[in-house]
Structure formats: C-alpha cells, structure tokens
Chain A
C-alpha cells in the first residue's frame, strides 16, 4: 500500500454540497407535504379535565386533529430505551397526554393542516381544561418528596444504586485528613442550530413508509415504527439526512412527533411534515446535567486520596425514557484518571416536573469531573501543595493498564481503563500553558478527565467496489457534522489502496444499511470506523483471492492500487466445479461488523489562564490549552474541530447559558435572546495537542473524541475563577451576576478551601 490516508488532514467530502446550499436537512424536504403543529402543555404539572378540538377540526384547511384517544397506540406508554434492574420505578410518557401532564412542553394535541400557518392558527383554537397540580422543580425539592411527580412513585425516586470498592467507612475513619463538600450542577441544553424535524410519506403502491428524521438513530426508529405499525421492517425506511448538530438529545425512542408524523402520513395518504420551532425546542427536547453531590473525602498529609464517598441525586425530569444511563456514567467516571482505593457511590434518580433528561455531549461526565477536580483543588489547598502536584500524586501510572476501577459501567461490565498516559497529559498541558500572565485577578484553571468511549454492542458496514472501480460504503449510524463521509473513506481507502476521493460513504440511511445502534457516546469512530475497516479488509481479501484465481499464482504478492482499473480486469480462471464455489458470493462486496470487547478510554487535560474583572465579573479566557488522547487519530483536522466545538460548548455551559426555571416549572428564557449561547467574541483560541496511546481493544486503535472537549470545561472554569477571585466555587453554571453574589455574600460552610 503506497498512500496512507489514516492520520492525514484530508479535507471533507461533505463540504461542497453544504457550502453551496445544497445540503438536505429534513425541513428542506417538501414534496407537497401537509404541515403539522403540536399543542403542548403550558403547565409543568396539571390534570387534564377535558380537551375540546372541535373548533380546530372545523377550521378550513385543517386536515386532521389527533388527541390520545384518536390513536391506536394512544394508551401505550412509550418504551424505555435502556432498561436497568435498578430502575425500579421507570415511567415514560404517552405519545399524547390525556390525563396528567408532568412538564411544560409535554405534547397534548397534534394538528395537521394544509399549511403551517393554518395548523398554528388551529392549534390556538384547541381548548384544554387543565387543573394545576403542585410542581416539583429541583432535584432537592424532589428528594424532600412533599409532592409527587408520579402518584405511584414513592419519594420521587425512579432508581437508586449503591456501589462500593474497598471499605470506605473504615478508610474515612482512619484517614489523617477528611473533608465534606456540597456540589451543585444545573441543567443545560444542547441547542443544536437545527431544531428537530420529521417528514413522512406512505406509498400505497410500494407499500412503503419512508421517514426522514433528524435523529441520531434511524435504525432504532425504524425498528420501533415497524413494531408499532405492524409492518415488516422491509416496508419501513428511516433516513437521517443532513442533521444540523445533535449532541445527544436527537436520540429518543420516541419523541411524540416521530410516531405522529408517520402515523398521520399513513392515515391521510399524503406526506406530512413537522418542524420544531426554537421556543418549542427549549422545552420539548431532552436536557441534562442537573445533579447535587454530597462528598466525603479522606486523604493523607501528602494529598493522596484514601477514600471517596459520594452521595448524589440526579435530576431525571418528568420521565425516564432513556433509563438511568446518566447517573450510572457519573458514578463510573467520578474517580477519573486518579487512584481511589476506597470508593463508594450512591445515587438516586429523581423525578421532577421538568423536561426529561437524556445524554447531552459529555453525558454524566462534566458533573463527575467537576466534583472530582474541585475536590482535588481543595485537597491541594488544605495540605499546601499546588494543584498540579496533587494531581501528579494521585494519577494512575502508565504501567498500571488495564486498570480496573471496580465499579459498574454502562455496558454492564466494570470500568476498566484500557490504555493511557495520564502523567504525560498533565505535564504537556502545564508546559504548553506557560507562566502566569501579568495582571490582577488572573487565575489558573486545571481539569483532567477520562472518557469511556465506543460502547457496543456493535456497528456494521457494507463496502462495495463498483464496476467503475469506485467504492461505495454504508453504515447505519448517521452524521450530525462529524465528517463520517471523510474519515471512513480514509479507513476504506487505506484497505483497498484507492484514492480517498473514490470512496463514497452513506450513513444513517436504512435503505443502504439496515442494522446499527446510533451516533452517541463518542462511539462512531470506534464501532462504525472499525466495521468499515473489517468490511473493507474482507473485500480486499476477496479481491486478492479472485485475482489469484485469475491472473496470479500467489495472492500474497498481490498489492492493491491503480484505483479504477483494479475491479474490472478479472477473468476467472478455469477450475473444476461451479464457477461460484460453495460459500462464495458474487461481487466485490462484503458486510462486516465490529463489536468492542469493552470501552476505549480516552483521556485529557485542560489548562487555562483566565481573568475575572473585579467590578463587572466579566470572564476573559487568556489562554486555553487542551492535551488529549483519543488513541490513533484518523484525521487531525476533524478531531481538532470536535475538540474546539466541545470546549466552546463547555464554556457556554459554564458561564453563559443557564436554563432559568421558575418555581412553577416554567422555563423563563426559552429563546436565544435570553439563553446566551456564546458567539465568536466569547470563545478564545484553543491550543490543542494530540497524544496517542492506541486502544488495544480495536484494530484501528482509535478512541472516541466527540464529547471529550466539553467534559472538563466546567471544572477548569470553576478552578480558574476560584484561583482568580479567591472565592470557593462549588456550583455550575456561573455568570457575572452569580459571581457578584458569591463575592459579596458571607463565606458558606460549603467552602472548598
């Protein structure tokens, strides 16, 4: 093989289309579709006494109005995506609520009309008689259980789980030093620039349901729709076309519209589309990150952690459609890159009258990282060493892999770190950060993380050499901007010895590849990337065999190359028996799968110099350094883009964005005017360095990187602000106003100093 595309800064195959305005996002698809609108609950908790849709139905241009009782599946609870034995009180919503609504934004009525404007006008005519019920809005009030979100869930506790490694009580008892902390992390919102959308058509002639959905998991949606509508999978196609950012919440089974739009299209015999508006997106789409932690830590005089005891509550929201994966990840990742010989973690997943939660980039980790890193900073201050030194003394060493953390992981195994070099991450970051800049109110922020990436069960790929010599390949998981069409082409091109531009990738289209799980948990490169590698290698082996039969005596001597001619020049050699021998298949194509034995553990260290204006509390990030290890890097340009985007999202979540819920459960800032996503003016230049410790658990040696950028940012900003202002930071997000309040209020018992 002459060229190696793996590792090169190959420019993106997907750009041309998108730059010319020829992308195809779900709302771009029209084809005479009817348009629809959801009527949503304005109350965070209320009983529905009656629903009157008669005026809406009577309006000219309205084609159909659906309430729960108009749907054959209206009385069915939607599925729990990932059940778990500890989820003893899992509850999901119904497609349309008819008895009780449990968060503001819960869908109640679905209106389909000739145009969006008519549908919106008709939605205004729907009369719902609500009887407000007491609202439980924070995880703390949920834990007090004065009111219940679900009548039949005592204490508002959906799930509880306790894990222990070693003997924490004894180790805390005997530790030379001991401290208690209270940490609070609030909800955040992923807010992709494209809100959600669904378009569906039923073709009577073909007996086929075709659905375009801005989902991160078209294969799951397809399976679910087939079951629900009683169709064989072959009659359902789900396509995630261009998707304008996902970051987690675009994966659900199901959002109500994902059932209602296809159902209406089948009922009405016309294409139907639904496009979410921005305000709707703020309350209708899952959120994440609300947790409250009570930590007891024991350590020695040198700052070495001896015992760590964390009891936390997780704000699950009104339902648990995604199971309890978030607190499980938090529990599994709390120890981070550090040795914690005695570790106990208990969590309770609490119901609140807020939008349900599911993974948002980082998924349980930014809060875990915040808790651990803030604790270490406090230990450093207590024993009188600097913050780099406390980490140095606690880090797992490069010769300790595989390292068993001793607690459970999201895939059902225990957390076992496969590879890494944590001290190198730290030292490189410190070196790159350089000396403290001159000036007042300057602080250093430091944060390290590990991330279990590339969870299974599997992904697959189909690779085919066309008669033209070009190569096409497909996998089930879709892209929301991660350059799948480029990086997988690099993997395939290497195996087949062709130019990367001759490989065309399709992803997220069940017509091309019907199996798969989804794009989430930083798993695309590990699972689908390796599946591409496996399938392409199968094609290469097959080609070698055919070539050997045809023209060469020794397949080992055959090398790929020459692109377009390779595929067309084989003439099968005469041999006994049928031309297609037993077990042989025609065509230069193969389907391969990759199923990881365990997670590939990425890691990294972020360090920053930042300044806080003592009067306005404006935050200025003077320098921001990322040293990270995602194993072998397929395309550094793409990886840097993932990191830069992740850090920016982290900065937004740490200092600018806050979901302002009031005590009635109303989100008071559901617009980009008031939910302050950062512009370029708020985001500094990010200095990135890649360190590669290949994962031994997959042939490409890769680890995921999609979420990494965001994970330690809250910890870094908190650490830097504490250093700059000398006030303890134990909560996220912050803002100028909150810093002013913290600075002027008396010091509290929750000090980390």
Chain B
C-alpha cells in the first residue's frame, strides 16, 4: 500500500487494524483512536481520496490502495493545507484530538461538494464526534476552507473578511474568523 505517497509493506500480522498499523508500525500517530468501534471518526483517513474509518479496516485491506493521513496533507512542514488553515483561523480545534479525523472528513467533503450548503456541511461532518468545540467553529472552518480552496472565485463568504482587530473586543458571538493582530 501507499501511505502519503510512499510505498510500505503490509504488516505481518493479518489481524492488524489499519489504525494500529499507521500509528504503531509506521509511527503516524496523527491518526487518533477515540472509540475503535466506528462511531467517533477520530481515525478517519483517506483511502484513494475518500474518507474511511481506519479502525474499521484491516491494514491488509489497504493493499493496493493509496492511504492519506493527516501527516500527508502538508508534508514536511510546508504551508498548511487550506482545510488545516481554515481550522486554525476559525478556532476549529481545542484539544485537537478529534481534529485529524475532522480535517480528513472535510477534505473528502469539499472534494465532493466544493461549495457546500449548510445542510451538506452538517451532513459532511456528522460522522465525527468532537467533545470540545460544540461544532460551531468547525462549521465555520468548513465554510472558510471552501473559500480558501477556490482562490479564483471572488470570496462570497462573510468569513472571508479581515476579522476583528486587536482592539475590537466586541461580543459578536464569534462570527468572524479569528485573526492574529
């Protein structure tokens, strides 16, 4: 199988889950395990570009496929992928444990729906649990990521603006993407 563009042999143990293989054999610990029964989405990776739960797959099932993990989105410390950037700008993460799974789901979602409606956003992230954010900031991040991914389209989103300046302590309920002053 290929993982983030590099070929790797399959694990010797045929019972090895893909999630455990990535984390413990390949050291790609960005893929997290929150439940190991397919509900939380923390372990989401891309298999040939589509999001899958790596805790519900055996590693050997990934033979012959392309696996992309969170580490593969912006390799080697290069500029953050637009989805990662959007999560940063919109405070889409707190503890960060669910985050790799969300980011991978959103990459998949936006590949399918580059301009998602509100319902498509909710549906697209409704396979991932987050216990910290209450999802509001993640929704904003998805909308923002759609904007960042379409640089040629004029920015139609209220989230694309400059954000608040340092002196602005107005209490708008966090509509704007945060910004470094």
Distance of A481 from chain B, by nearest CB (Å):
3
Distance of A579 from chain B, by nearest CB (Å):
40
Chain A residue numbers with a CB within 8 Å of B23 are 27-28
Which of B30, B125, B132, B178 contacts A481, CB < 8 Å?
A: B132
- Let me know if B131 and A191 touch, CB within 8 A: yes
B69 beta carbon closer than 8 Å to chain A: yes
- Let me know if B131 and A647 touch, CB within 8 A: no
Q: Please, which residue of chain A has its CB at the minimum distance from the CB of B16?
A: A117
0 or 1 for each of B130-143: is its CB under 8 Å from A? (1 = yes)? 11111111110000
- Residue pairs across A and B with Cβ atoms less than 8 A apart, 24 shown, are A4-B166, A4-B167, A8-B164, A8-B168, A11-B89, A18-B99, A19-B70, A20-B30, A21-B29, A21-B31, A191-B131, A193-B40, A193-B132, A278-B35, A278-B36, A638-B91, A640-B137, A644-B137, A645-B134, A673-B37, A679-B125, A681-B122, A683-B135, A686-B134
Q: Which of A659-678 contact B (CB under 8 A)?
A: 671-673, 677
B150 beta carbon closer than 8 Å to chain A: no
* Stretch in B46-54, B56-64, B80-88, B151-159 with 4+ CB within 8 Å of A: B80-88
B117 beta carbon closer than 8 Å to chain A: no
- In the complex with contacts A20-B84, A192-B131, A12-B99 CB distance below 8 A: no
Distance of B150 from chain A, by nearest CB (Å):
20
Which of B70, B122, B171, B181 contacts A5, CB < 8 Å?
A: B181
B103 beta carbon closer than 8 Å to chain A: yes
- Let me know if A683 and B70 touch, CB within 8 A: no
- Let me know if A194 and B80 touch, CB within 8 A: no
A25 beta carbon closer than 8 Å to chain B: yes
* Stretch in A290-298, A328-336, A433-441, A687-695 with 4+ CB within 8 Å of B: A687-695
- Let me know if B164 and A9 touch, CB within 8 A: yes
- Let me know if A483 and B95 touch, CB within 8 A: no
Q: Please, which residue of chain A has its CB at the minimum distance from the CB of B28?
A: A21
- Let me know if B181 and A8 touch, CB within 8 A: yes
Q: Please, which residue of chain A has its CB at the minimum distance from the CB of B41?
A: A679
- Let me know if A679 and B127 touch, CB within 8 A: yes
Distance of A4 from chain B, by nearest CB (Å):
7
Chain B residue numbers with a CB within 8 Å of A247 are 131
- Let me know if B98 and A193 touch, CB within 8 A: yes
Q: Please, which residue of chain B has its CB at the minimum distance from the CB of A683?
A: B135
* Stretch in A91-99, A237-245, A319-327, A526-534 with 4+ CB within 8 Å of B: A237-245
The 7 closest A-B pairs by CB, nearest first: A21-B30, A244-B97, A481-B95, A18-B96, A648-B134, A481-B94, A21-B70
Chain A residue numbers with a CB within 8 Å of B100 are 21
Apart from A8-B168, A20-B71, A680-B122, 19 more pairs, CB < 8 Å: A8-B181, A9-B176, A15-B88, A19-B103, A20-B84, A25-B29, A27-B23, A27-B33, A28-B23, A192-B131, A193-B42, A194-B34, A245-B94, A277-B36, A481-B93, A481-B132, A672-B35, A672-B40, A687-B173
A33-B68 Cα distance, complex, nearest whole Å: 27
Q: Which of A1-59 contact B (CB under 8 A)?
A: 3-5, 7-12, 14-16, 18-25, 27-28, 30
B7 beta carbon closer than 8 Å to chain A: no
- Let me know if B37 and A671 touch, CB within 8 A: yes
Q: Please, which residue of chain A has its CB at the minimum distance from the CB of B166?
A: A8
- Let me know if B128 and A10 touch, CB within 8 A: no
Distance of B170 from chain A, by nearest CB (Å):
8
Q: Please, which residue of chain A has its CB at the minimum distance from the CB of B135?
A: A680
Chain B residue numbers with a CB within 8 Å of A242 are 95-97
By CB atoms of chain A within 10 A, which of B96, B125, B134 has the most? B134
- Let me know if A19 and B36 touch, CB within 8 A: no
- Let me know if B178 and A10 touch, CB within 8 A: yes
Q: Which of A179-221 contact B (CB under 8 A)?
A: 190-195
B174 beta carbon closer than 8 Å to chain A: yes
A622 beta carbon closer than 8 Å to chain B: no
B32 beta carbon closer than 8 Å to chain A: yes
Q: Please, which residue of chain B has its CB at the minimum distance from the CB of A637?
A: B178
A166 beta carbon closer than 8 Å to chain B: no
A498 beta carbon closer than 8 Å to chain B: no
Chain B residue numbers with a CB within 8 Å of A641 are 91, 94, 132-134, 137, 174
A480 beta carbon closer than 8 Å to chain B: yes
- Let me know if B97 and A193 touch, CB within 8 A: yes
B12 beta carbon closer than 8 Å to chain A: no
A631-B27 Cα distance, complex, nearest whole Å: 44
Chain B residue numbers with a CB within 8 Å of A691 are 171
0 or 1 for each of B107-129: is its CB under 8 Å from A? (1 = yes)? 00000000000000111011111
Distance of A607 from chain B, by nearest CB (Å):
14
Classify the interface of chain B: helix, strand, loop or mixed: loop
A564 beta carbon closer than 8 Å to chain B: no
B160 beta carbon closer than 8 Å to chain A: no
Q: Please, which residue of chain B has its CB at the minimum distance from the CB of A10?
A: B180
Q: Please, which residue of chain A has its CB at the minimum distance from the CB of B90?
A: A637
Which of A192, A633, A643, A680 contacts B95, CB < 8 Å?
A: A192
- Let me know if B96 and A672 touch, CB within 8 A: no
A636 beta carbon closer than 8 Å to chain B: yes
Classify the interface of chain A: helix, strand, loop or mixed: loop
Q: Please, which residue of chain A has its CB at the minimum distance from the CB of B133?
A: A645
By CB atoms of chain B within 10 A, which of A14, A24, A680 has the most? A680
- Let me know if A686 and B136 touch, CB within 8 A: yes
- Let me know if A689 and B36 touch, CB within 8 A: no
Chain A residue numbers with a CB within 8 Å of B91 are 11-12, 637-638, 640-641
Q: Please, which residue of chain B has its CB at the minimum distance from the CB of A278?
A: B35
Q: Which of A336-395 contact B (CB under 8 A)?
A: none
Chain A residue numbers with a CB within 8 Å of B164 are 8-9, 636
- Let me know if B131 and A193 touch, CB within 8 A: yes
A689-B175 Cα distance, complex, nearest whole Å: 11
A683-B87 Cα distance, complex, nearest whole Å: 19
A685 beta carbon closer than 8 Å to chain B: yes
Chain A residue numbers with a CB within 8 Å of B98 are 193, 244
Distance of A363 from chain B, by nearest CB (Å):
17
Chain A residue numbers with a CB within 8 Å of B34 are 193-195, 244, 278
A484-B174 Cα distance, complex, nearest whole Å: 19
Chain A residue numbers with a CB within 8 Å of B70 are 19-21
Chain B residue numbers with a CB within 8 Å of A633 are 169
- Let me know if A22 and B30 touch, CB within 8 A: yes
- Let me know if A19 and B84 touch, CB within 8 A: yes
B11 beta carbon closer than 8 Å to chain A: no
Distance of A188 from chain B, by nearest CB (Å):
12
- Let me know if B30 and A7 touch, CB within 8 A: no
- Let me know if A16 and B132 touch, CB within 8 A: no
- In the complex with contacts A8-B166, A673-B39, A681-B122, A636-B171 CB distance below 8 A: yes
Chain B residue numbers with a CB within 8 Å of A8 are 164-169, 181
- Let me know if A636 and B169 touch, CB within 8 A: yes
A687-B174 Cα distance, complex, nearest whole Å: 8
A141 beta carbon closer than 8 Å to chain B: no
A193-B73 Cα distance, complex, nearest whole Å: 23
- Let me know if A11 and B178 touch, CB within 8 A: yes
Q: Please, which residue of chain B has its CB at the minimum distance from the CB of A635?
A: B178
Q: Please, which residue of chain A has its CB at the minimum distance from the CB of B136?
A: A644
A277-B17 Cα distance, complex, nearest whole Å: 15
- Let me know if A690 and B171 touch, CB within 8 A: yes
A589-B168 Cα distance, complex, nearest whole Å: 32
- Let me know if A194 and B97 touch, CB within 8 A: yes
Q: Please, which residue of chain A has its CB at the minimum distance from the CB of B33?
A: A27
- Let me know if A19 and B166 touch, CB within 8 A: no
Chain A residue numbers with a CB within 8 Å of B125 are 679-680
A649 beta carbon closer than 8 Å to chain B: yes
Chain A residue numbers with a CB within 8 Å of B42 are 193
Chain A residue numbers with a CB within 8 Å of B121 are 680
Distance of A449 from chain B, by nearest CB (Å):
17
A595 beta carbon closer than 8 Å to chain B: no
A19-B89 Cα distance, complex, nearest whole Å: 12
A69-B6 Cα distance, complex, nearest whole Å: 50
Chain A residue numbers with a CB within 8 Å of B35 are 278, 671-672
A397 beta carbon closer than 8 Å to chain B: no
Chain A residue numbers with a CB within 8 Å of B73 are 20
Chain B residue numbers with a CB within 8 Å of A680 are 121-122, 125-126, 128, 135, 138-139
- Let me know if A19 and B173 touch, CB within 8 A: no
Q: Which of A119-170 contact B (CB under 8 A)?
A: none
